[in-house]
Amino acid sequence: MEGLGARAVLNYVLYEFEVGGPSREVVEEALRIAQRELDELQKVVKILQELKVYV
Protein backbone atom coordinates (compact mmCIF):
# COMPACT_ATOMS: atom_id res chain seq x y z
CA MET A 1 0.00 0.00 0.00
CA GLU A 2 1.32 3.39 -0.97
CA GLY A 3 -0.86 5.93 0.80
CA LEU A 4 -0.53 6.80 4.46
CA GLY A 5 -4.27 6.49 4.99
CA ALA A 6 -4.34 3.05 3.39
CA ARG A 7 -1.48 1.81 5.54
CA ALA A 8 -3.06 3.28 8.66
CA VAL A 9 -6.36 1.51 8.00
CA LEU A 10 -4.64 -1.82 7.36
CA ASN A 11 -2.44 -1.39 10.44
CA TYR A 12 -5.57 -0.71 12.49
CA VAL A 13 -7.18 -3.93 11.22
CA LEU A 14 -4.04 -5.99 11.79
CA TYR A 15 -3.62 -4.62 15.31
CA GLU A 16 -7.25 -5.20 16.26
CA PHE A 17 -7.19 -8.72 14.83
CA GLU A 18 -3.98 -9.45 16.74
CA VAL A 19 -5.31 -8.08 20.04
CA GLY A 20 -8.94 -9.15 19.92
CA GLY A 21 -9.17 -11.58 17.04
CA PRO A 22 -10.98 -11.14 13.75
CA SER A 23 -14.38 -9.49 14.02
CA ARG A 24 -16.99 -8.05 11.72
CA GLU A 25 -17.07 -4.87 13.83
CA VAL A 26 -13.39 -4.18 13.17
CA VAL A 27 -13.87 -4.65 9.44
CA GLU A 28 -16.95 -2.41 9.44
CA GLU A 29 -15.09 0.32 11.34
CA ALA A 30 -12.15 0.01 8.94
CA LEU A 31 -14.56 0.45 6.03
CA ARG A 32 -15.97 3.61 7.64
CA ILE A 33 -12.46 4.97 8.21
CA ALA A 34 -11.44 4.16 4.62
CA GLN A 35 -14.55 5.88 3.26
CA ARG A 36 -13.78 9.02 5.28
CA GLU A 37 -10.24 8.97 3.89
CA LEU A 38 -11.59 8.69 0.35
CA ASP A 39 -13.96 11.59 0.95
CA GLU A 40 -11.11 13.75 2.22
CA LEU A 41 -8.85 12.79 -0.69
CA GLN A 42 -11.59 13.72 -3.15
CA LYS A 43 -11.71 17.17 -1.55
CA VAL A 44 -7.94 17.47 -1.89
CA VAL A 45 -8.09 16.47 -5.57
CA LYS A 46 -10.74 19.12 -6.21
CA ILE A 47 -8.65 21.81 -4.50
CA LEU A 48 -5.54 20.81 -6.43
CA GLN A 49 -7.43 20.88 -9.72
CA GLU A 50 -8.61 24.40 -8.92
CA LEU A 51 -5.07 25.48 -7.99
CA LYS A 52 -3.68 24.08 -11.24
CA VAL A 53 -5.45 26.90 -13.09
CA TYR A 54 -3.24 29.45 -11.33
CA VAL A 55 0.17 27.86 -11.94
In the predicted model, is pLDDT for residue 2 greater than 90? no
Per-residue pLDDT band for 3 (boundaries 50, 70, 90) equals confident
Listed by start position, the domains of the chain span 4-52
pTM over 0.75? The answer is yes
4-43 pLDDT, tens digit each: 899 999 999 999 999 999 999 999 999 999 999 999 999 9
Mark 7-31 as b/e (b = at least 16 C-beta within 10 Å). eebeeebeebeeeeeeeeebeeebe
Contact of 39 with 52, CB cutoff 8 Å? no
